[in-house]
């Protein structure tokens, strides 16, 4: 029994203002192409079971092109692998907020895909001695008991949600799932395999329980994901292949359609605007493979506001023209001032102020203060990604905050 586990496709994801010659958002087309290549790779593996752990679409009401592309690709999968079981759960981006609103994922039942979108369901496949507990991220659904079926040889748990203590704070704060599961509740050792969705970075929860990660960079924390993957030695995005008989486990990388390129940081302390212009130009010119058609970010630290304002905007416009997106993010120097009583002190940063305000203000009894503080700080830290579609040539850290 070999399975493939993928998740967080986010078809219909749109970002930036670049359009294709046909008038479609370029990033939406990029993600669609990544999904097409993913389907090709899955077909080539010829598994017995394909698990899709939610967030098939980026929005509850995806665009018509996104729906059409998804239908075509899942049709390819079903035609090429008619004997392969395909099971899909809804993620928080797929699931409507009210029970009377239908879920678009039900469309794929016409192709023979097993879709679980409103309430958890246990699917039985006696001819394969297989039981699958499929748990969608449905806010109105009753929480199931995560227990395997003792009558089946193979027991698989397919769930879109957060395993307590696994996701980093920034991932939790920017995109909350409705379901949070403790490790004890998950009961991972009792399952043949646990397929998780929601977290966009490939990660093990237990020896047989994994987040497969997303197939492309489709979150507000894309640069954070790049850093996580680099630190963990993970080769980007992809999907999992698992042999339940032998335990053989393989992560198959999928090359994103549009590369993300983070240029080496520049420390501009003491530089004039002309010197910083030259440093930026040199960094761009030395970029591996160039910046053309890529998503590029360059962080410059210790830049006074007046220096940032005097940069060569003509050159920056040219970089933005060449790249799909070029984001120059500047941070002002730390400012020292005399504190009360004449003692030297550091001026509180905006995150410091926000943290203090949220720690001390009155809150309703049902609001988790730690979660509120984490969310506020994450909004500040990740605002550079959230404002990436703004036309400004230079974004200062103060403006981000």
| Average pLDDT per consecutive 10 residues, the chain (401 residues; last block may be shorter) | 97 92 94 97 98 95 95 98 97 78 90 94 96 88 87 97 81 67 93 96 96 95 91 93 97 94 94 95 96 96 91 95 94 63 57 75 65 77 53 60 50
- Do 65 and 24 belong to one domain? yes
> Residues 6 or more apart from 72 whose CB is under 8 A from it?
none
- Do 70 and 206 belong to one domain? yes
Tokens of 174: 């920017």
The closest of 31, 115, 113, 108 to 71, measured between CA atoms, is 108
pTM of this prediction? 0.81
Handedness of CA 214, 290, 283, 304 (dihedral sign): negative
Report pLDDT for 377: 78
- Do 238 and 293 belong to one domain? no
Q: How far apart are CA 273 and CA 305, in angstroms?
A: 11
Structural domain boundaries, residue 277 = 260-400
Q: How far apart are CA 261 and CA 255, in angstroms?
A: 13
- Do 272 and 163 belong to one domain? no
- Do 299 and 365 belong to one domain? yes
CB contact at 8 A, 11 and 319: no
* Total number of domains constituting the chain: 2
- Do 212 and 197 belong to one domain? yes
Report pLDDT for 339: 46
- Do 205 and 277 belong to one domain? no
Q: How far apart are CA 308 and CA 225, in angstroms?
A: 28
């Amino acid at each position: 029994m070999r399975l493939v586990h993928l998740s967080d496709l986010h078809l219909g994801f749109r970002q930036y203002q670049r359009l294709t010659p046909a008038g479609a958002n370029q990033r939406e087309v990029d993600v669609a192409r990544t999904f097409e290549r993913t389907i090709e790779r899955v077909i080539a593996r010829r598994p017995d079971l394909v698990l899709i752990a939610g967030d098939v679409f980026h929005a509850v009401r995806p665009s018509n092109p996104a729906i059409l592309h998804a239908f075509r690709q899942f049709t390819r999968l079903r035609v090429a692998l008619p004997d392969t079981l395909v099971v899909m759960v809804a993620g928080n981006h797929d699931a409507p907020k009210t029970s009377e609103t239908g879920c678009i994922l039900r469309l794929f039942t016409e192709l023979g895909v097993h879709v679980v979108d409103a309430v958890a369901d246990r699917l039985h496949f006696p001819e394969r001695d297989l039981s699958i507990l499929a748990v969608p991220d449905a806010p109105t659904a009753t929480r199931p008991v995560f227990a395997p079926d003792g009558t089946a040889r193979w027991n698989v748990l397919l769930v879109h949600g957060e395993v307590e203590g696994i996701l980093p704070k920034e991932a939790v704060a920017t995109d909350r799932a409705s379901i949070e599961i403790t490790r004890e509740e998950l009961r991972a050792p009792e399952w043949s395999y646990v397929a998780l969705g929601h977290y966009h970075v490939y990660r093990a929860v237990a020896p047989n329980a994994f987040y497969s990660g997303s197939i492309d960079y489709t979150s507000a924390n894309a640069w954070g994901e790049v850093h996580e993957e680099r630190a963990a030695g993970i080769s980007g995005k992809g999907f999992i292949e698992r042999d339940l008989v032998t335990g053989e486990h393989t992560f198959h990388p999928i090359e994103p359609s549009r590369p993300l390129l983070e240029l080496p940081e520049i420390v501009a302390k003491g530089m004039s605007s002309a010197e910083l212009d030259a440093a930026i130009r040199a960094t761009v010119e030395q970029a591996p493979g160039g910046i053309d058609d890529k998503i590029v970010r360059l962080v410059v630290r210790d830049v006074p506001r007046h220096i940032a304002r005097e940069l060569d905007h003509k050159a920056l416009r040219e970089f933005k023209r060449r790249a799909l997106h070029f984001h120059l993010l500047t941070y002002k120097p730390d400012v020292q001032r005399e504190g009360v009583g004449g003692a030297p002190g550091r001026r509180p940063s905006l995150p410091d102020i926000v943290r203090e305000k949220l720690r001390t203000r009155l809150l309703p009894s049902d609001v988790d203060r730690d979660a509120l503080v984490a969310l506020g700080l994450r909004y500040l830290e990740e605002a550079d990604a959230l404002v990436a579609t703004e036309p400004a040539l230079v974004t200062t850290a103060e403006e981000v905050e």
